[in-house]
Amino acid sequence: MVKKILQELGITKNTRYENQYLNDTNIRTAIYMAVVVIALEIWMIIRYVYKRPGLSFMDYFDGETNYIILLSSAVIVLTFGIRHKYLENERKRCIPGIITAVIFLLLDIPLFVRFVYVRKDIMNFRELLSASKYLFLLSVLILSYLIYEFFLYEISHRRSAIYGQYLNVIFALICLGFGIETSVYDVSRERQILCFVTMAIYAACLLIWKPYASFIILSVFFLYFYHEWEPIMNANESPHAQKILEANQINYFTFWIALVMVSVSIYQQRLTEAKKDENLTKAHDLMKKLAVQDELTGISNMYQFVQDAERIMKDHPDDRIYLFINIDNFKNYNDKYGYPAGNRFLCTVADIISKGFPDDPVARQSDDHFVVLTTTSSLETRIREIRNKVIAINPEIYVDLKVGSYMPGKNITESTKLIINPGCQPEQENPAGVITDPHIAVDRARFACGLIKNKFDKHYMEYDENVDRDFHKRQYVVNNIDTAIENGYIQVYYQPVVWSEAHTLCSCEALARWIDPEYGFLSPGDFIPVLEEYRQIHKLDKCIWEMVCCDIHDVTEAGLKPIPVSLNISRLDFELMDTPAVLEDLVKKYKLHKHDIHIEITESALADDMGRLQRDLARIKNDGFSIWLDDFGSGYSSLNVLKDYSFDVLKIDMKFLSSFNDNEKSKIILNTIVDLAAKLGMYSLTEGVETNDEAVFLQEIGCGRLQGYYFGKPMPLQDIVAKIKDGTYIIKKLG
Ligand code: C2E
Ligand code: CA
Ligand code: CA
């Protein structure tokens, strides 16, 4: 309550913004008022000259002292106002302003001399001093303005507004003084007092004081004027004039109160506006900040980075390099310490990177990815220093940085040759063939970084020509998978799986091939990981499964025994489609037996337990398909997977055979796995058999099925059918 009252009275302190707002609005009002005063005074001077024809120049000069004073002060205030509002950014001396001020100063001096000279006989020193006070104030005003022009022209906008407020005060005092003098002079001749009242309004408009200040200042002037007026009024003996003056007196007091109230109300209104404006400005600033700043770390966001990069690359297209920085193992950091600690860690890393590249644009792209645009000079050293600092943040957990880089100026010519993106915009390049779009450049640096993701000993990878070729191949794959399926570029190759005893044909594995008119023969390594990354793998798998089912159907129709086929399945297939339903439909459509279809799932797909995957696998198994565990032993989670799921066949990864001849331990391991499989009720199959020795060994340890180049490479259907027909392969089913 007390606070509210103090606020209404204007006793509470305003914020810096509010004061600035009030000062600025006062200067704006001063400009309007100065224009009004100038127009008015010019009119008065013309009127004066017109009414008194034939006077000498000096007489005119003497008679119009007050008009000239008011006119000059208004011109100075107007000059300052315009300069403050419109020329503030120039931060130069305003020559026209200086010339104007000097002219008025030169006019002011003879005016002053003449004033004293004319009146020295009729006034004593005190009266002279009092009568010449406007001239004095005018001199102060002009000199203050000149001081500003010569010494203070470089001060900030805020300080300049405060200075303008000071000039306004002098202008207001001149107006009030002028009003008092003219009105007292008029009253003494039984005439109006309106001049003072008018000037009081000017002054009130010129300066929106705080309520209590408005009250004090206006009251002081009204009382002073009343004090000057009272003896004149009493001295007047005419009853008619007495009546007029009495009426004037009552109106005078009413006016005083009204004017004080109006000033207070205008002040409050402006203060409310200032508060609103301040909130708006704050909101605007915040939004502006958010638009260019990463919310979490406070460094630039990608929007700002792209703007900066475009600007810099325009001037330095040849020697700048984009860096993409990824925090290795950040996921584990989050898992171990929680998200708030993870966020703090990201802020620290952002700080380290920013300080490592103090003059370059640095931004957080997303999650734990940062981007930098820098120069190549001592780049390796700088990256090493940053890495060391990041590693040292928390020595308890392994965290490192992986950095990929792309230098547009290196002008990789392959990029243009290899881009065949029918649906995509052509990449933005300058005439020299340098990629200028920061998004593309960052994408390439990120790609290079991705290549060393799982390489323990590599921390820096540059996007070179080989990477470029790979990059475009990947882009091509993602953009063309649908076309490839439609146009039959995707084909199935079948690799035989044989019984280890008689080497008769047990089944085949269906392996995808992409035979492309542009790239030629693409092996699964070129497209499977990309399609998985871009969540398109289900399209390929569905297509392969359909082709396989169709082939089995055709072979059977042609009178051969149906060949059982194992299909590869990706863990994403379970997320991207209703896999059990797709398989079920295909089997129905081609009238196949479910035991002729095996599903191969890799152990890595099962490592992260997913409810849906587990349910779907159980459904597939219950539907009658057999489930094979692929690549057993290639990951870390092999034994857990065996505990949690049940499989019909265990496919032992080919890496155990790679050191078959050199490492006796491989044999022991193979033996153990085969035993383990048998104990868990599974058949075993070893992949990658390339020699007779391997085949003999595997047969001896009890591995029932074998697959590998020794028995046949993956081949098109017609080749395998031909080999069945000519007796190379004899189909022999289980049981
Ligand atoms: P995988 O399922 O482990 O397939 C076995 C891979 O080993 C095949 O490579 C095959 O050509 C190769 N291979 C077979 N015998 C030998 C041998 O004696 N020595 C050597 N060095 N290699 C041998 P491929 O066809 O390049 O397939 C690679 C991987 O791509 C496959 O590994 C599988 O994970 C994936 N893949 C292939 N086709 C498909 C598919 O249609 N769908 C899905 N989701 N993945 C597929
Ligand atoms: Ca497989
Ligand atoms: Ca395999």
Using the mean position of ligand 1's atoms as its centre, give its distance from the Cα of residue 674 in Å.
21
Ligand with an atom nearest the CA of residue 631: 3
* 265 and 187 housed in the same domain: yes
pLDDT reported for residue 735 = 57
Ligand with an atom nearest the CA of residue 657: 1
Q: Is residue 495 one of the residues assigned to a domain?
A: yes
Using the mean position of ligand 2's atoms as its centre, give its distance from the Cα of residue 685 in Å.
11
Q: Is residue 730 one of the residues assigned to a domain?
A: no
How many structural domains comprise the chain? 3
Using the mean position of ligand 2's atoms as its centre, give its distance from the Cα of residue 566 in Å.
8
- Residue whose pair of structure tokens reads 């000071």 in the numeric block: 166
Using the mean position of ligand 1's atoms as its centre, give its distance from the Cα of residue 296 in Å.
43
pLDDT reported for residue 433 = 56
- Give the model confidence (pLDDT) of 336-392 as tens digits: 999 999 999 999 999 999 999 999 999 999 999 999 999 999 999 999 999 999 999
How confident is residue 249, by pLDDT bands cut at 50, 70 and 90? confident
Using the mean position of ligand 1's atoms as its centre, give its distance from the Cα of residue 331 in Å.
30
Atom of ligand 1 nearest to the CA of 602: 34
Atom of ligand 1 nearest to the CA of 573: 44
| pLDDT(426) > 60 | no
Using the mean position of ligand 3's atoms as its centre, give its distance from the Cα of residue 635 in Å.
12
Q: Is residue 217 one of the residues assigned to a domain?
A: yes
Arithmetic mean of pLDDT, 457-483: 92
How confident is residue 240, by pLDDT bands cut at 50, 70 and 90? confident
Ligand with an atom nearest the CA of residue 490: 1
Atom of ligand 1 nearest to the CA of 710: 18
CB 161 within 8 A of CB 23: yes
| pLDDT(609) > 70 | no
Q: Is residue 229 one of the residues assigned to a domain?
A: yes
* 427 and 555 housed in the same domain: no
* 387 and 430 housed in the same domain: yes
CATH code, domain with 403: 3.30.70.270
How far apart (Å, rounded) are the C-alpha atoms in residues 391 and 348? 11
pLDDT reported for residue 112 = 74
pLDDT reported for residue 422 = 36
Q: Which domain holds residue 337?
A: 302-463
* 495 and 453 housed in the same domain: no
- The total of other beta-carbon atoms located within 10 Å of residue 279's CB is 11
Does ligand 1 come within 6 angstroms of the Cβ of 690?
A: yes
pLDDT reported for residue 229 = 77
In terms of pLDDT, which residue wins out, 433 or 326?
326
CATH code, domain with 693: 3.20.20.450
Lowest mean pLDDT among 112-121, 359-368, 684-693: 112-121
* 453 and 515 housed in the same domain: no
**At which of 252, 284, 316 does a domain end?**
284
Using the mean position of ligand 3's atoms as its centre, give its distance from the Cα of residue 508 in Å.
13
Does ligand 1 come within 6 angstroms of the Cβ of 712?
A: no
Q: Is residue 290 one of the residues assigned to a domain?
A: no
Using the mean position of ligand 2's atoms as its centre, give its distance from the Cα of residue 437 in Å.
41
Q: Is residue 399 one of the residues assigned to a domain?
A: yes
Does ligand 1 come within 6 angstroms of the Cβ of 496?
A: no
* 333 and 228 housed in the same domain: no
**At which of 250, 284, 318 does a domain end?**
284
pLDDT reported for residue 418 = 39
| pLDDT(699) > 60 | yes
Q: Is residue 575 one of the residues assigned to a domain?
A: yes
How confident is residue 435, by pLDDT bands cut at 50, 70 and 90? confident
The torsion defined by the Cα of 704, 710, 716 and 717, in degrees rounded to 10, comes to -40
Does ligand 1 come within 6 angstroms of the Cβ of 450?
A: no
- The total of other beta-carbon atoms located within 10 Å of residue 56's CB is 8
DSSP 422-479: TTSPPPPB-TTS-B--HHHHHHHHHHHHHTTTT-TT--EEE--HHHHHHHHHHHHHHH
Does ligand 1 come within 6 angstroms of the Cβ of 541?
A: yes
* 27 and 165 housed in the same domain: yes
Does ligand 1 come within 6 angstroms of the Cβ of 682?
A: no
Q: Is residue 474 one of the residues assigned to a domain?
A: no
From residue 207, alpha-carbon distances to 91, 200, 211 in Å are 26, 11, 11
**At which of 284, 311, 333 does a domain end?**
284
Residue located nearest, by CA, to atom 7 of ligand 1:
688
Arithmetic mean of pLDDT, 307-325: 92
* 163 and 252 housed in the same domain: yes
| pLDDT(253) > 70 | yes
| pLDDT(436) > 90 | no
- Give the model confidence (pLDDT) of 491-532 as tens digits: 999 999 999 999 999 999 999 999 999 889 999 999 999 999
Lowest mean pLDDT among 3-12, 141-150, 198-207, 296-305: 3-12
* 440 and 563 housed in the same domain: no
- Residue whose pair of structure tokens reads 């330095």 in the numeric block: 316
How confident is residue 48, by pLDDT bands cut at 50, 70 and 90? confident
* 58 and 139 housed in the same domain: yes
How confident is residue 634, by pLDDT bands cut at 50, 70 and 90? confident
Does ligand 1 come within 6 angstroms of the Cβ of 523?
A: yes
How far apart (Å, rounded) are the C-alpha atoms in residues 631 and 677? 14
Lowest mean pLDDT among 34-43, 238-247, 573-582: 238-247
The type of residue at 239 is: P
pLDDT reported for residue 58 = 67
* 247 and 379 housed in the same domain: no
Atom of ligand 1 nearest to the CA of 493: 25
- pTM score, two decimals? 0.60
* 599 and 647 housed in the same domain: yes
Residue located nearest, by CA, to atom 27 of ligand 1:
524
| pLDDT(468) > 50 | yes
